[in-house]
Structure 1
């Protein structure tokens, strides 16, 4: 059950960070701290997913989004992809 909550929360946050102009501007305004926070959240989620035998793709994409998020278009694309995968995985994990 905790991994499902982590996936819903991280998926929602990734969707927000992937918003053109708004997400990127807020990340820059906060001194890139959201990327570090999301990286930690995705690593924790990946550990829980591995232990529970759940899908890991969304968290792997999230880790890529957090590490490449400083590149404007690439970061946005990865945030959106991570959000899609995480929200689908959260809905499927029962």
Structure 2
């Protein structure tokens, strides 16, 4: 399994946890919103690995946007859910584009 796929699983499951109503928000608020910064960095790492592997990048880009605007209560929840679904789907079907 490639590093980009592993990171998609990590960030996808992290986003899924943060999308749990009230519980995810409680963790974000109790961390002083620093958890969103950690997720932002993890999405950057995932994006770099995806670029290196010539694989899908949209999940990481949506995750970056999510980390930037997730402090808005209802929009944050919705974006965490969208990011989680997108990243997990990409992790399941990931395969690199081959350039010969």
| Separation of aligned partners in 2, 1:50 and 1:18 | 26
Instruction: Specify the alignment match of 1:65 in structure 2.
Output: 66
Instruction: Specify the alignment match of 2:19 in structure 1.
Output: 18
Largest Rg, 1 or 2: 2
Instruction: Specify the alignment match of 2:98 in structure 1.
Output: none
Instruction: Specify the alignment match of 1:28 in structure 2.
Output: 29
Structure with greater proportional helix content: 1
Question: TM-score of the superposition, structure 2-length normalised?
Answer: 0.91
> 5+ unaligned residues in a row in structure 2: which ranges?
96-100
Question: TM-score of the superposition, structure 1-length normalised?
Answer: 0.96
Shift of 1:64: 0.9
Shift of 1:83: 0.3
Instruction: Specify the alignment match of 1:43 in structure 2.
Output: 44
> 5+ unaligned residues in a row in structure 1: which ranges?
none
Aligned residues: 94
Please state whether the residue corresponding to 1:53 is helix, strand or coil: coil
Q: Deviations over 1:5-26 (max 9, x none)?
A: 0000100000000111100111
Across the aligned residues of Structure 1 and Structure 2, the Cα RMSD in angstroms comes to 0.7
Runs of 4+ in 1 over 2 A off after TM superposition: none
| Separation of aligned partners in 2, 1:56 and 1:19 | 24
Shift of 1:75: 0.8
